[in-house]
Structure 1
Amino acid sequence: MIALLIAADLLIDGREGVSLTHLMLEGFVLVAALVGAGLTLRRFLQVNRDLVIARRDTIHWRDQHRALVQGLSAAISDQFSAWNLTPSETEIGMLLLKGLSHAEIADIRGTSERTVREQSRSLYRKAGLEGRADLAAFFLEDLLPPQR
């Protein structure tokens, strides 16, 4: 858009008899704007290609491991039941495990961030955990091979 406006101004200035120095300066700015637009477009296309590849890889991984993911989800639900979590605490626990922030969870659930924070604390208390990292570690610890 900037390049188009500069080009239009350059044409108008050329018809009005503006000095050659002024026209050259605006021409330089036009070239710089076009180069910037080209580089931005190139970067946008690269990011778009990377996103398409990432989405394809995600779908492939999900399809390949669907049974494992469903089994893990069921195991997590069973553990949440064993901890006697309320349905709200269970939902918050799942969203915390997905990596969402308290603000994002509050937005999804249509509640306040304070409510989410309190229900998270209740979940951690019932589970005997210190916080979000312990919650994730509880379920992931046995999935990862031991470190040497």
Structure 2
Amino acid sequence: MSDDKGGKLLRIVSASVFAVIAALIALDLLLDSRDGVGWLHVLLEASVLVAALFGLVVMLREFGRVSLDLTIARDDAARWRSEHKALLSGLSVAIARQFSDWGLTQAESEIGFLLLKGFSHHEIAELRGTSERTAREQARSLYRKSGLTGRNQLSAFFLEDLLQPAKAD
């Protein structure tokens, strides 16, 4: 399930829970008032109803803000990728060439790209339909063939010279 679908489901379930709680409290309040329950009990239940409704409104507003922030972040990422498509393509080609120079297999190269993208061994295994142990072993083989010690050095190998500090004006 994608994060977007999972987030939508979470919002629906959470809002439904608050709405059901509020409805049950309202029903109980109505039944209690018909049965002649004391005013203090009715007042307490009415307070819980107001709190549940307030919680529902606050939660829906927060979910709205998070959804908006997520949309803005996705739009920014899409814009950035679009503006730098040629650079990213060139970088991908250069990385693939370096992987070839290191003598990596196709599987090790795939692992290398996924490691550079920030995926965990577990996520890589799921994406590739292999075991986590296989993904780990292929990553170790990549590090051994490249002479690097791990994920940090792999990332630094490709990014170190690209990421120069901004010059002060």
TM above 0.5, yes or no, is yes
> Per-residue CA shift, 1:35-67, capped at 9, x if unaligned?
111111110000011011111111110110000
Matching residue's letter, 2:79:
H
Matching residue's letter, 1:115:
T
Matching residue's letter, 1:97:
L
CA distance in structure 1 between the partners assigned to 2:165 and 2:52 by the alignment: 54
CA distance in structure 1 between the partners assigned to 2:29 and 2:52 by the alignment: 13
Question: Aligned residue pairs: how many?
Answer: 148
CA distance in structure 2 between the partners assigned to 1:25 and 1:80 by the alignment: 68
Matching residue's letter, 1:14:
S
1:85 aligns with 2:97: no
TM-score, reference length from structure 1 = 0.97
TM-score, reference length from structure 2 = 0.85
> Per-residue CA shift, 1:63-112, capped at 9, x if unaligned?
10000000000000000000010011000000000000000001111111
Equivalent position of 1:130 in the other structure: 149
Runs of 4+ in 1 over 2 A off after TM superposition: none
CA distance in structure 2 between the partners assigned to 1:32 and 1:89 by the alignment: 55
Aligned mate of 1:22, from 41, 45, 52 = 41
Residue 146 of structure 1 deviates from its aligned partner by 4.7
Unaligned runs of 5+ in 1: none
Aligned Cα RMSD in Å? Answer: 1.2
Residue 13 of structure 1 deviates from its aligned partner by 1.2
Unaligned runs of 5+ in 2: 1-19
> Per-residue CA shift, 1:104-145, capped at 9, x if unaligned?
001111111111111100000000000000000000001011
Equivalent position of 1:98 in the other structure: 117
Residue 147 of structure 1 deviates from its aligned partner by 8.3
Matching residue's letter, 1:70:
S
Matching residue's letter, 2:121:
H
